[in-house]
Amino acid sequence: MSSLQPVRGTRDLLPADSRRHRHVLETAREVAERYGFGDMVPPVFEFTEVFKRTLGETSDVVQKEMYTFLDRGGDEITLRPEFTAGIARALISGGLSQNLPLKFFSHGPVFRYERPQLGRLRQFHQINVEVLGIAEPQADLETIVLAAHILEELEVINVCTLELNSLGDPASRAAYRKVLVEFLADHRATLSKDSQARLERNPLRVLDSKDVDDSRIVADAPSILDHLTAESADFFAALREGLDALAIAYAVNPRLVRGLDYYTHTAFEFTTESLGAQGAVIAGGRYDGLVEAMGGPSTPGVGWAGGIERLVMLCTNEPAPHRPVAVIPVGGAQEIPALRLAHDLRRAGFVVELGARGNLTRRLKRANKLNAACAVIVGGDELARGAVTLRDLDSGAQAEVALAEIEDHLTSFR
CATH code of residue 71? 3.30.930.10
pLDDT of residue 278: 65
pLDDT value, residue 198: 83
State the residue range of the domain holding 398: 325-413
Q: Is residue 203 part of a domain?
A: no
Distance (Å, rounded) from C-alpha 300 to C-alpha 262?
Answer: 10
Q: What is the CATH number of the domain that holds 377?
A: 3.40.50.800
Q: What is the pLDDT of residue 206?
A: 86
Could you tell me if 154 and 242 lie in one domain? yes
Looking at the structure, do residues 334 and 299 belong to the same domain, yes or no?
A: no
90 and 137 housed in the same domain: yes
Residue 398 lies in a domain: yes
Query: Does pTM surpass 0.85?
Result: yes
88 touches 128 (CB < 8 A) = no
Residues 260, 373, single domain; the answer is no
Low-confidence ranges of the chain (pLDDT < 70): 1-2, 57-60, 119, 259-261, 277-278, 356
Position 57 scores a pLDDT of 64
Structural domains counted in the chain: 2
Q: Give whole-number Cα distances, 114 to 9, 62, 64, 377, 392, in Å.
A: 8, 12, 8, 53, 51
Confirm whether 264 is domain-assigned. yes
Instruction: Report the pLDDT value the prediction gives residue 259, as an integer from 0 to 100.
Output: 64
pLDDT value, residue 210: 80
Sign of torsion, CA 108 112 113 118?
negative
Last residue of a domain, one of 288, 314, 340: 314
What's the pLDDT at 261?
67
Domain boundary among 267, 282, 314: 314
Same domain? 259 vs 394: no
Residue 58's pLDDT is what?
Answer: 59
